Chain A
Amino acid sequence: MLEIKNLHARIGDREILKGLTLTVKPGEVHAIMGPNGAGKSTLSYILAGKDDYEVTEGEVLLNGASILDLEPNERSVAGLFLAFQYPIEIPGVATMTFLKAALNAHRKAKGEGELTTPEFMKLVKGVAEKLNITSDMLKRPVNVGFSGGEKKRAEIMQMALLQPSICILDETDSGLDIDALKVVSEGVNALRSPDRAFVVITHYQRLLDHIVPDIVHVLSDGRIVRTGGPELALDLEKNGYAAYVANAAA
């Protein structure tokens, strides 16, 4: 589904990813953990197509096709979704207008017609309800005035609407209290399916109690330095990243 091969990337003169390789198969949930500055957010932005970064080597294939030359919107309609660590507030753009534009872009790419307004409203309300997103929140501009938890829930709502095949969750747990973490995790778990995969980027093991990964990777200094099962996350929680940081520095 998602194949990252020997990915090197830099911002300005600073090399951040130094040969990252990762293969994610349909239905799998991968967790990527790592210390600050390891390149976790860079990885998520590069996958989504933010042009602040320069890919110098390697490739990224989504369902067998390279995505590095695609625009961010093309990657989205190809099935990639990034849940932002810091979802952006967009004053003046109504949430519903935004969701409709996104949904219709995806439908158009699939050769489907636009939804009627009642169809669209029904779809959004159904998804929003499950994530405790009130109709008042839907009436506001995109993410404006949302709390940290509301923003993350809104990200999962977008994910549920767009039905991506690969979901990248960039520190979705940051800024969430325990209740919000539960709601968000339930939202993600509800989307798990044999033909959809997740890459969950996080600092802490806590999120992985709720979204149980199949495979855990440790990212340090721009590379995957260790891969294991869920027990690896527990080990990291106990012993920290020191061993890997030292490793990478050596």
Chain B
Amino acid sequence: MVATPVRTPAELALAARYPAERTLLPGTADVIAIRDAAFGGVEKSGLPHRRVEDWKYTDLRARLKTFPPAAGAGDVARVRIAAPAVEGDKARRLVIANGRYRPELSDLEDLEPGLSIFSLATALEAGDVAAVAALKLDDAIASNTAVALNTAFMTDGLVIGVANGVEIERPVELVHIAEGASAASTAVRHLVTVGKGARLTLIETIESLDKVAHHSNVMTVVDVGDGAKVDHIRLQLEPDEAVSMTSLVAKIGREANFDTFNAALGAGLARAQIFAEFAGRDSQAGFRGITMLGGRRHADTTLSLVHGAENCQSRELYKAVIDGEARSAFAGRIAVPAHAQKTDARMMTASLLLSEEAEADAKPELEIFADDVQCGHGATCGAIDEDLLFYLLSRGIPKAEAESMLILAFLGEAIDEIQNQAVHDALIHRVEGWLKTRAA
């Protein structure tokens, strides 16, 4: 007798959607084949649950109640007048509304020589060889559920290129906006190639104009060339009703610099995944982020870093502040293969629990096969330090304000690593807003 697994409503919705949409989604036959393979994997295994190690803390099968229909075009006029998430950052804003790149809402003026920006949908429709090739990923990444769903359903995204040796001063900001009064889902893929010795600051914001249960799935694939420097910052700002999945895939070349920061400030269910690899020696990378949770929200940060080349240095720092009955999970895995001597990696995660019911799970993992390495990891979890609090109170500062000062100080260690001042300030402003709401 063969046991047939019971499908959840979300799995049923997925199974109904994909066959109906696969040929309508952008791309030639090659792309459809890639989508089919990705969806086939998800359909076969179903949504991952807590017995699947990578999803241990985020039981997608249990938590994903539905899988809403694909987003329509949305009300572009509303998107046009939406206030920017980051004020005054002078960034080149590229708007992706409801999963569609909107050049007419984007800032494409005075494009720097050496910077190219195209729509992924257009590239895939045209059978652009490089774009199609860039959809193919290592099995370990491709088979990840959030990635596979992105591959299956992606509607658009940006193909961004920076030519060798070109330093782009002005940050490029990918503005993801969901618009619409009924729940819908979007899947967007960006392909970013930064050439040898080139520089780019890439900012991503993900938000929704409506407090509805949108599902967003944003995936960004970054190729950091030899000697290149890339700074990536993502602000995830969706309302509590939303489900947010992000994946960052980064391949870091030789003597390169890569930094990524993820601010998980929104969505009722959020999963931020990072798959990074040092592909060339003598490089440096920083992986940092903050999570702020209240109510019954759940946020998961899952990092997988392959220190695949000699003499590379990485720093990982993730901080979470958890209130109410919320739950934060961090899983960080660093793999050092035998040839990656002189690897220097330090991974730290710290959680501040603000209520009795708050929960933090941390799972740092080091997998080291080289013998001449410096690798460390640490995880802490605790409440606000009573002695620090007493000191502030003893000077007349009211409790709520004193707690806010200490929470901000806790997060500051990570936030202060953000090099872009406007994004740094915008984030501090958001954090202060969160703290004010909490204190009220």
Q: Which 6 A-B residue pairs are closest in the complex by CB-CB distance?
A: A92-B409, A76-B396, A72-B393, A102-B395, A105-B396, A73-B393
A84 engages B391 (CB within 8 Å)? yes
Residues on A facing B (Cβ under 8 Å): 48-50, 71-73, 75-77, 81-82, 84, 87-88, 90-93, 97-98, 101-102, 105-106, 109, 141-142, 158, 162
- The interface residues of chain A lying within 8 Å CB-to-CB of B410 are 92
B392 engages A82 (CB within 8 Å)? no
- The interface residues of chain A lying within 8 Å CB-to-CB of B392 are 90, 93, 98, 101-102
A92 engages B408 (CB within 8 Å)? yes
A73 engages B409 (CB within 8 Å)? no
Does B388 interact with chain A (Cβ within 8 Å)? yes
Instruction: Give B393-433 as 1s and 0s: 1 = Cβ < 8 Å from A's Cβ atoms.
Output: 11111110110011011101100000000000000000000
- The interface residues of chain A lying within 8 Å CB-to-CB of B413 are 91-92
CB of B90, distance to nearest CB on chain A (Å)? 26
Does B390 interact with chain A (Cβ within 8 Å)? yes
- The interface residues of chain A lying within 8 Å CB-to-CB of B409 are 90-93, 141
Q: Which residue of B lies closest to A103 (CB)?
A: B396
With A and B bound together, what is the CA distance between A48 and B393 in angstroms?
A: 9
Does B387 interact with chain A (Cβ within 8 Å)? yes
CB of A91, distance to nearest CB on chain B (Å)? 6
Cβ-neighbour of A101 out of B387, B391, B401 (below 8 A): B401
Cβ-neighbour of B396 out of A84, A97, A109, A141 (below 8 A): A109
Interface pairs (23), CB distance under 8 Å: A71-B399, A72-B390, A72-B393, A72-B394, A73-B393, A73-B394, A73-B396, A73-B397, A73-B398, A77-B396, A81-B394, A84-B394, A87-B391, A88-B391, A90-B391, A92-B406, A92-B409, A93-B392, A93-B405, A105-B398, A141-B409, A158-B395, A162-B395
Cβ-neighbour of A88 out of B387, B397, B401, B402 (below 8 A): B387
CB of B289, distance to nearest CB on chain A (Å)? 17
A76 engages B391 (CB within 8 Å)? no
Q: Which residue of B lies closest to A48 (CB)?
A: B394
B390 engages A50 (CB within 8 Å)? yes
B396 engages A82 (CB within 8 Å)? no
- The interface residues of chain A lying within 8 Å CB-to-CB of B388 are 88, 90
CB of B186, distance to nearest CB on chain A (Å)? 37
B390 engages A101 (CB within 8 Å)? no
- The interface residues of chain B lying within 8 Å CB-to-CB of A158 are 395
- The interface residues of chain A lying within 8 Å CB-to-CB of B396 are 73, 76-77, 102, 105-106, 109, 162
Q: Which residue of A lies closest to B391 (CB)?
A: A88
18 other A-B residue contacts (CB within 8 Å) besides A72-B390, A82-B394, A90-B392: A49-B394, A71-B399, A72-B393, A73-B396, A73-B402, A76-B395, A84-B394, A88-B387, A90-B406, A91-B413, A93-B409, A97-B405, A98-B395, A98-B397, A101-B392, A101-B401, A102-B396, A109-B396
- The interface residues of chain B lying within 8 Å CB-to-CB of A75 are 394
With A and B bound together, what is the CA distance between A105 and B410 in angstroms?
A: 22
Q: Which residue of A lies closest to B411 (CB)?
A: A92
With A and B bound together, what is the CA distance between A105 and B395 in angstroms?
A: 9
- The interface residues of chain B lying within 8 Å CB-to-CB of A82 are 394
Instruction: Give B21-46 as 1s and 0s: 1 = Cβ < 8 Å from A's Cβ atoms.
Output: 00000000000000000000000000
CB of B401, distance to nearest CB on chain A (Å)? 6
- The interface residues of chain A lying within 8 Å CB-to-CB of B397 are 73, 98, 101-102, 105
User: Quick one: which of A71, A82, A93, A142 has the most chain B CB within 10 A?
Assistant: A93
CB of B135, distance to nearest CB on chain A (Å)? 43
With A and B bound together, what is the CA distance between A98 and B391 in angstroms?
A: 11
Within 8 A of A (CB), among B145-167: none
- The interface residues of chain B lying within 8 Å CB-to-CB of A109 are 396
Within 8 A of A (CB), among B278-320: none
With A and B bound together, what is the CA distance between A194 and B303 in angstroms?
A: 63
Instruction: Give B367-405 as 1s and 0s: 1 = Cβ < 8 Å from A's Cβ atoms.
Output: 000000000000000000001101111111111011001
- The interface residues of chain B lying within 8 Å CB-to-CB of A106 are 396
Instruction: Give B352-363 as 1s and 0s: 1 = Cβ < 8 Å from A's Cβ atoms.
Output: 000000000000
Q: A73-B399, A105-B398 are in contact. Are A93 and B393 (CB under 8 A)?
A: no
- The interface residues of chain A lying within 8 Å CB-to-CB of B395 are 73, 76, 98, 101-102, 105, 158, 162
- The interface residues of chain B lying within 8 Å CB-to-CB of A105 are 395-398, 401
CB of A122, distance to nearest CB on chain B (Å)? 20
With A and B bound together, what is the CA distance between A98 and B412 in angstroms?
A: 15
User: Quick one: which of B394, B395, B396, B401 has the most chain A CB within 10 A?
Assistant: B396
